[in-house]
Amino acid sequence: MVQTDILIIGAGPTGLFTVFEAGLLKLKCHIIDALPQAGGQCSELYPKKPIYDIPGFPEVLAGDLVSNLMQQIAPFQPGFTLGERADSIEKLEDGTFIVTTNKGTKHQAPVVAIAGGLGSFEPRKPILDNLSKFEDNGVAYMIKDPEVYRDKKVLIAGGGDSALDWSIFLADIAKEVTLVHRRNEFRGALDSVEKVQELKDKGKINLITPAEVVGLEGKDALEAVIVRKNNNPKEDQKIIVDNFIPLFGLSPKLGPIAKWGLEIEKNAIKVDNTLDYQTNIPGIYAIGDVNTYPGKLKLILCGFHEATLMCQSAYQRIFPDKKYVMKYTTVGGVTGFDGSKK
């Protein structure tokens, strides 16, 4: 069981900055995210887009903002459970919470901060009869660790950047890479499309278009997929594979959190913005894009502000008898927040 002071659900910019603000108060944090990497929308949706409204940064790429946040929180050594979705919550008699993920990992904390943004990004799945039988048994919707595919026969389906980039990457690792897309044209970056074509010409990627996966075969684990070319059953071919990875994009859903007994309005969690962004359940806070209150703006800097106030309240909750006196992170340029000489 993972134990921490503040359990943060969501590793977007809001969740990451919470670790910093909590760290200043000497509170430990652990973050759960359904995605295999930190950064939320910034990493998943627009890593190369410049952002112009982060105070002090006239311009910063979303991906660089996430790297900077990771660097900023590193001294506080947060724990991470990545690639797992927070599914259920239970309140114990001592007032602490236990949050369990879809993979069964349990986390205990006196304070839970939901920084779930638009919700957990759920993969768009192909419609195939026996798909669920092979999930985690040959079928995966995101690549957490490419090494898993070393010397394996892999079939990727999709036409966007993820499908192209992973096909290129795995061409050097896997034994065989097949890329299937239902159109001849791809939606991804031109450079990636050209690279895939080059690798096809070198015999390192087996490219099949226009085509779709229409069947999965295997006794216990996945053994083969049926690929239909030109929408014509006469052109069906059976491809022996170890892994099938449909990369059809991710769509955000508030998902299981919506059933935690929290007050929800228009797919967002209602909070007390006059005080500390606490929800209707004491000890559970909601910060960043996931919350709603009069005048709410879904902006990164608003999430940072909410995280800061929320941590002050969390401190009072965890240490009701201690009086915390807010100090600046640097005083007179002498000492850094982590105790280092500045």
Residue 87 · residue 259 · CB < 8 Å: no
Residue 23 CB, nearest distance to ligand FAD (Å)? Answer: 17
| 69 sits near ligand FAD (criterion: CB under 6 A) | no
Q: What are phi and psi of 329, to 5 degrees?
A: -65, -30
| DSSP tag of 205 | S
- How many other CB atoms are there within 10 angstroms of residue 57's CB atom? 14
14 among the known binding-site residues?
yes
Nearer to ligand FAD, 13 or 218 (CB): 13
Q: Is the dihedral of CA 180, 185, 188, 190 positive or negative?
A: positive
Extract the tokens encoding 279: 């929800």
Residue span binding ligand FAD (CB under 6 A) among the ranges 33-41, 194-202, 310-318, 327-335: 33-41
Query: Which of 188, 218, 246, 303: binder of ligand FAD (CB under 6 A)?
Result: 303
The verdict on 264 binding ligand FAD (CB under 6 A) reads no
Near ligand FAD by CB under 6 A: residue from 27, 30, 40, 244: 40
* DSSP string covering 266-324: TTEEE--TTTT-B-SSTTEEE-GGGEE-TT----HHHHHHHHHHHHHHHHHHH-TTPPP
What residues form DSSP beta bridges with 324? none
Contacting ligand FAD within 103-162 (CB under 6 A): 115-121
Among the listed ranges 170-178, 237-245, 254-262, 274-282, the one in contact with ligand FAD (CB under 6 A) is 254-262
* Smaller CB separation from ligand FAD, 119 or 246: 119
Q: Which residues lie near ligand FAD (CB under 6 A)?
A: 9-15, 32-35, 40-42, 45-46, 49, 51, 53, 85-86, 115-121, 255-257, 288-289, 298-301, 303
